[in-house]
Amino acid sequence: MRAIRRFTVRVTLPQPLAPLHDLMLNLRWSWHQPTVELFKSIDPAGWAASGGDPVAMLSSMRPAQLSALADNGDFLRRLDEAVADLQVYRNEPRWYQSANAPKEGAADIGAMPRAIAYFSPEYGITAVLPQYSGGLGILAGDHLKSASDLGVPIIGVGLLYRHGYFTQSLSADGWQAERYPADDPNGLPLTLLRHPDGDPVRVSVALADGSQLTAQVWLALVGRVPLLLLDSYLEENEPALQEVTDRLYGGGTEHRLRQELLLGIGGVRAVRAFCGITGHPEPEVFHTNEGHAGFLGLERIREYLAAGLSFDEALELSRAGTVFTTHTPVPAGIDRFPRELIERYFVHVDGGLPLDRVLALGAETYPGGDPHVFNMAVMGMRLAQRVNGVSVLHGQVSREMFAGLWPGFDTAEVPIGSITNGVHAPTWVAGEVSDLGDAERAASADASLLWGIRRQLRARLVTETRRRLRESWRQRGASGAELTWIDDVLDENVLTIGFARRVPSYKRLTLMLNDPQRLAGLLLDPDRPIQIVIAGKAHPADEGGKRLIQQMVRFADAEAVRRRIVFLPDYDMALARFLVQGADVWLNNPLRPLEACGTSGMKVALNGGLNLSVRDGWWDEWYDGGNGWEIPTADGVEDPARRDELEASALYELIAKSVAPLFYDAGADSVPHGWVQMVRHNLRTLGPLVQADRMVGDYVNRLYTPAARSSRALAADGGSAARSLAVWKARVRQAWPAVRIEHVEADGAEPSLGAVLDVRVMASLGDLSPHDVRVELVYGRLGDDDELTEPSCVTLAADESSPGRFSGSVELGQPGPFGYTVRVLPSHPLLASRADLGLVTYPDAPAGMSTGDLR
């Protein structure tokens, strides 16, 4: 566990060691093993005691030790090499630069954005900077690291919480206790952002009473990527306001709102200051990682208003360059404020943001929506032209969840896409595995070599588990003499299952306890035993979660099973690495479909471990029948207890009948060849997919670059396109109620397979011209409820000689029940999707759809 560091004085290094500063301050060391080796060589015991924190290690060294180091020629040479290597890493052209390099004859020179600002409420870069509480933060950290490796010009923006991720310990009876060590930023690998004259940068945001909340800005270097972290602990703020950046997701509603105002609005101001000072290109794209950072869109609108644009023009410009990623289908995970609170705060925002427009952006204006609520996810979707979920399944679930924002459109047409998450391999993959090369190479390694490495990683987890378990029992009040049994906890030859995650109820920490006898039977099986290592933190306010942990701990405390099942407190990135590297099997049993993606199983896959999981999130997408196991879900079963029982039973069955037999089926060479074969297949199929490099590449190609293109198109000529788009939208909105489909005619009354359906439409467009709209024929197979499943669309041509007439045809190609209808949509080259304005007109019922059966 990390030591509490309150008023750490930044270590003063003898002059020859000065380059160590640069090396420590760039967090690339957190995923660069050679740099870690260099740090470790300074003082191996001190390194271990500091928990792998170079700043803490050097702070605790005596001056005599430091001056000896400054005289060590061999060390100084290695230090020079490391610094030079970092220099090259930071400056050489990487993927983005080569992809973006001017190519001869290419039309899209410099098509990718010059810079992207990425906003997130939390970041998991290293356990040394505990500014995260779960998957969202880890993902944000991995995003920045891969962006750095790929050379993507991202600027990260977040808050610096004084009390980072809490540390978890257990009471004697297994109840979670929390501690929030205070981190003095001066003891962290951060530097204060300053103006050229040396004055620290200040950003302020207005609060409800008209007063200002001020923050300073800390700069963390994540390889090539700057990360700006706002910190409200300043004398200028009255004491209550200093506490705004006290901790993640703590405090009441207003506290959270202040944090989010600082993150979104203050964050944009910090980016402007940073670019002004350093000459870094200004971002063309702003990425909102979950709703908490959504106020950034309002600040960008305010900037445009200040430059003389109208609200609608500003909205168009801001939307075009904004990407919003939604991360959870769990309603409790969606950020909502009382509308009245937003009203109080935005009455005072300077720069003339009209309050009614602000409130409208977060209004739940759909059936079932709450009129008293301001919804940050909804605002995120209105302020971003491009929106995505984080796995294919989650994209689908999000389209259903937010369909009410696009009334009149089928779920399939709701403009929310998906980019499946990934993990940063150099952070999570064990050195032994990455030494084999990429996943494909690792998969091709000799079976005994591969199995030997798996064994080594399992053994390391066993050792670390005993160490942590002993420490935990000491804290729970046991004496050393009572703990000799810990020497026999776990066995490096036993099939090892890992389970670690936050403890919200949908993740079902205790599903495995559904039938304790059966679980004990698996643990204690004389021929094919299993062992389980578990970790996870409950939110400090979540009593239910703490009860689940207690239930788990009590089970694991029992003398009969305690050598085979362990709950380790204080799940964080450091513990996660041991677990994902050492586990043979990674268990994940969420209530489908509530896990948006999940990433811990991806870390396991890259280390040659296998997933045993409910088909939720990423596993729904990439499980192929041979790269792990699927725990069948009892989706349709309404009674939660019955559902748990069914799914737990399936889990026990899988372990007993499939997983354990394959693991223990070793050949004469002691290698279980069937298992190793599965590991190889797992590495080959999942290796290229589950990496954050793939994910960040997808963001660049599918969202950032198109967003930059839209943004540039609108901004050209001093924003003239934005102006005309805003005027056009206002005109279309006003005219739309008069748009009607008056008449639909089709030839081929008895449709047959292969026939051509000719359709003619007479539409009344009111004040709009045929160029303002697109008239579409929508057709396809009918589902059980007579709705179109995966409808196709063709645009009907306007008849130039007869205004309001549109016609076209389609070949009917698939047998079975089919249907078609027509519709009118607004059409403009600068709209990102058909559903952009949320406007659509169908023929009046009951003649809305024609159906038939194709044979």
Ligand X SMILES: *Cc1c(COP(=O)(O)O)cnc(C)c1O
Q: Smallest distance, Å, CB 381 to ligand X?
A: 23
From candidates 52, 121, 130, 135, binder to ligand X by CB under 6 A: 135
Among left, alpha and beta (phi > 0; psi -120 to 50; other), residue 766 is: left
From candidates 576, 714, 732, 775, binder to ligand X by CB under 6 A: 576
* 531 is a site residue for ligand X (CB under 6 A): no
- Token pair belonging to 792: 């196709």
**Between residues 134 and 380, which has the closer beta carbon with respect to ligand X?**
134
- Map residues 371-400 to x or -, x wherever contact with ligand X holds by CB under 6 A: ------------------------------
Strand partners, 387: 324
SS (H, E, C) 472-524: HHHHCCCCHHHHHHHHHCCCCCCEEEEEECCCCHHHCHHHHHCCHHHHHHHHC
Rounded-to-integer distance, Cα 214 and Cα 195, Å: 16
* 122 is a site residue for ligand X (CB under 6 A): no
From candidates 599, 627, 691, 705, binder to ligand X by CB under 6 A: 599
339-346 and 253-261 helices, crossing angle to 10°: 40
Residues 709-738 contacting ligand X, CB under 6 A: none
* 586 is a site residue for ligand X (CB under 6 A): no
Q: Smallest distance, Å, CB 781 to ligand X?
A: 36
Among left, alpha and beta (phi > 0; psi -120 to 50; other), residue 31 is: alpha
Angle (CA) 728-730-733 rounded to 5° is 105
Q: Smallest distance, Å, CB 124 to ligand X?
A: 7
**Between residues 32 and 603, which has the closer beta carbon with respect to ligand X?**
603
Alpha-carbon dihedral angle through residues 366, 371, 373, 374, given to the nearest 10 degrees: 60
* 573 is a site residue for ligand X (CB under 6 A): yes
Sign of CA dihedral 732, 738, 741, 742: negative
- Map residues 136-175 to x or -, x wherever contact with ligand X holds by CB under 6 A: --x-------------------------------------
Q: Smallest distance, Å, CB 52 to ligand X?
A: 15
* 504 is a site residue for ligand X (CB under 6 A): no
* 572 is a site residue for ligand X (CB under 6 A): yes
Amino acid of residue 345: Y
**Between residues 135 and 250, which has the closer beta carbon with respect to ligand X?**
135
Region of 440-448, 596-604, 620-628, 790-798 interacting with ligand X (CB under 6 A): 596-604
Give which of 272, 395, 254, 407 is closest to 325, Cα–Cα. 395
Q: Smallest distance, Å, CB 226 to ligand X?
A: 23
Q: In what order do the strands lie in the sheet with 773-781?
A: 740-747, 756-764, 805-811, 792-798, 773-781, 816-826, 850-854
Region of 277-285, 571-579, 750-758, 805-813 interacting with ligand X (CB under 6 A): 571-579
Rounded-to-integer distance, Cα 332 and Cα 828, Å: 37
Residue given tokens 């008209």 in the structure block: 210
Site size for ligand X, by CB under 6 A?
12
Residues 221-240 contacting ligand X, CB under 6 A: none
**Between residues 178 and 491, which has the closer beta carbon with respect to ligand X?**
178
Sign of CA dihedral 555, 557, 559, 560: positive
Q: Smallest distance, Å, CB 550 to ligand X?
A: 20
Rounded-to-integer distance, Cα 243 and Cα 233, Å: 7
Rounded-to-integer distance, Cα 146 and Cα 225, Å: 10
From candidates 46, 113, 153, 598, binder to ligand X by CB under 6 A: 598
Q: Smallest distance, Å, CB 336 to ligand X?
A: 23
Angle (CA) 506-508-509 rounded to 5° is 135
From candidates 113, 134, 174, 697, binder to ligand X by CB under 6 A: 134
**Between residues 379 and 692, which has the closer beta carbon with respect to ligand X?**
692
CA neighbours closer than 13 Å in the CB half-sphere of residue 340: 1
Q: Smallest distance, Å, CB 165 to ligand X?
A: 9
**Between residues 154 and 503, which has the closer beta carbon with respect to ligand X?**
503
> Which DSSP string do the residues of 700-760 spell out, in sequence order?
IIIIIHHHHHHHHHHHHHHHHHHHHHHHHHHHHHHHGGG-EEEEEEEE-SS--TTPEEEEE
Region of 239-247, 264-272, 350-358, 595-603 interacting with ligand X (CB under 6 A): 595-603
CA neighbours closer than 13 Å in the CB half-sphere of residue 652: 19
**Between residues 518 and 603, which has the closer beta carbon with respect to ligand X?**
603
* 571 is a site residue for ligand X (CB under 6 A): yes
**Between residues 146 and 599, which has the closer beta carbon with respect to ligand X?**
599
**Between residues 583 and 825, which has the closer beta carbon with respect to ligand X?**
583
**Between residues 216 and 510, which has the closer beta carbon with respect to ligand X?**
510
Q: Smallest distance, Å, CB 576 to ligand X?
A: 3
Region of 567-575, 604-612, 690-698, 755-763 interacting with ligand X (CB under 6 A): 567-575
What is the chain's Cα-based Rg? 29
H helices of 736-831, where? none
From candidates 319, 501, 729, 834, binder to ligand X by CB under 6 A: 501
Region of 151-159, 435-443, 463-471, 572-580 interacting with ligand X (CB under 6 A): 572-580
CA distances from 117 to 130, 194, 271, 289, 834 (A): 22, 20, 8, 10, 27
φ/ψ of 305, rounded to 5, equals -60, -40
Q: Smallest distance, Å, CB 327 to ligand X?
A: 10
Residue 420 near residue 692, CB atoms below 8 Å: no
From candidates 600, 613, 685, 711, binder to ligand X by CB under 6 A: 600
Q: Smallest distance, Å, CB 65 to ligand X?
A: 33
Provide the 8-state DSSP code for 657: I
Binding site residues, ligand X, CB under 6 A: 134-135, 138, 501, 571-573, 576, 598-600, 603
